[in-house]
A and B are shown apart, each in its own frame.
Chain A
């Protein structure tokens, strides 16, 4: 039996109720607890060494239930979703729930977001400022509620955001953004510094909030994959796989094996392309432009092969519910293998140069350290977690074929403990090598068969879940059908939703000129966070 299930049953046996009939994958358990036990359940999870993977709210008024509050915990390969209903003192208008922030730090932002967008109030939350919702939104605009009409424009109201202040002699503030100096997404950073040293960094995101979660509700199940592919343009493959797998888990459909394998090839190619770009950009921010141009050259070649073989440079819209939209033929296979041979050779030459450059080493080592303990507290995921000693990777712990065939693939996931810029670069370097290796293996053993299987439509009140390792880390989708089987809620948790917290902590004590370097080594998505 699942460890987490056992733990929660032994502590809260009388209150917890496990629910069957939800079409989750086998590694996911789902239970409900009464509202006053929600925080206690979190404590039990904390004591069982589980990490908080996501927290979200649903409007279930159409299902006749008020507001659902969900927390998803992860321990190894197990997920446990704990649900409660928001307690309303005055009916419907002030639903509240127990805050988990003091037990799990990442709940800090999840809960601010839930309060801002769904209008459910976390009790005893230390920070009541809105998140993603800006001060010029009307206070009662809760877009994720069913009663909110998303098609109408919102009026602007007067309001002020209360920034965290630092005082004292020589303390000054540097506001940056939302329009940054480079070609990057918008977000606002506010530093308090003394001389060069950063005392505190406060992030303020939400500038690219496009209403994606609400938008999903206006789409049919079959169309949603296109929107998922545009949650974060650089992670289009992983997001569309995650959406499709959540939908497939809801309906019990299963794509053909060949489709699974081709999805994995796409996923690894996306990982290679983005890691190459990141390694180059990190070096560029340490004033080593040579590496930037070399890596951008390699990345461009990967994108061109994508265009040639799959018809899109980022392989957008090629993962569809039930399978994939393009095949890999024999010629394509040979072409990809030749490309990988060339890429591996060029890449290794550059890695030697990266390693042997003392001025670069001076910048990337011991800069922007996210300590292992802190990384655990913040429940970070993906490359950030693996550079800080947390061995988390959905390809190992929550695999889909072919990753589950460990004897054939033998995926080797790099984990480092130093947690500095160098560690995050090194994890990427090792992952590029590993991806090149496993693409070769997957191409050699690609099973025959169809590309798609039909996907049944979800039945009323069913729910689906998926966790997929994109190049940044674990992406979680949770889908829920309404009373007529329509889209009631589509929850998206990009790795950036938790990893942005890691950047805030890693930067403290560093010097201001190292911020771009640290930020690049995290390279989190603004769009995936803001939704």
Chain B
């Protein structure tokens, strides 16, 4: 136990402020995220992540925004186990034919008003997998999408900026 406590004190708080992003006009992603989540979602934004056919690359980065360095929970963002109490669906693509029905059902199980964010180049238009007998292409072909986050895979900062963009539009 003493070792655990020592390691905790020794590590300290590693969470970093998010970097400035001039190009996208977002001054401080973090501060704005926190502010918007507080104002519009009563301090808590619940996200349900759906893998509709990704290669697992995007999932790793979505995991990373939960790590102590990006620590998305400080902005009130947390991931839920069920779509029933989600405000937002974070969908990675391409949508495979075998996942289409499950994705539609998850969408229908999410209460309105709901936001849909499609993650990655594959979520945008199918990416390298394109459209074929097995891949139906981007998420937007199956359910309405509010915001796309580009990248293969998008970095954790891209993901947080994309989530901010989504909760700022509506």
Contacts and interface: CB of A to CB of B under 8 A. Distances in A.
B102 to A, nearest CB: 5
A297 B128 contact: no
Interface string B44-68: 0000011111111111111110111
A61 to B, nearest CB: 19
A526 B56 contact: yes
Interface stretch (A108-116, A209-217, A432-440, A476-484): A209-217
B132 A185 contact: no
Contacts of B94: 210
Interface string B5-19: 001100100100000
A410 B22 CA distance: 49
A294 interface: yes
Interface string B121-158: 00000011111111110000000000000001101000
A141 B133 contact: yes
B133 A152 contact: yes
Contact of B99 (A178, A214, A236): A178
Nearest to B134: A211
Interface residues of A, number: 56
Given A154-B133, A290-B4, A185 B56 contact: yes
A90 interface: no
B96 interface: yes
Given A183-B62, A293-B67, A151 B132 contact: yes
A153 interface: yes
Contacts of A249: none
A369 B120 CA distance: 37
Interface in A323-358: 349-350, 352-353, 356
A184 interface: yes
A479 B127 CA distance: 23
Contacts of B69: 297, 300
Contacts of B106: 179
B129 A210 contact: yes
Contacts of B127: 230
Nearest to A296: B67
B64 A300 contact: yes
A183 B59 contact: yes
A144 to B, nearest CB: 11
B168 interface: no
Interface string A207-232: 11111101100000000001100111
A236 B98 contact: no
A186 B51 contact: yes
A527 B132 contact: no
Interface in B67-122: 67-69, 79, 81-83, 94, 96-99, 102, 106
B39 interface: no
Contacts of B98: 134, 206-209, 530
Contacts of A226: 128
Contacts of B170: none
A449 B56 CA distance: 35
Contacts of A231: 55
Given A185-B51, A186-B51, A232-B56, A297 B11 contact: yes
15 contacts: A150-B132, A152-B133, A153-B97, A185-B54, A208-B53, A209-B96, A209-B98, A230-B57, A233-B54, A236-B57, A297-B67, A314-B153, A316-B152, A350-B7, A527-B54
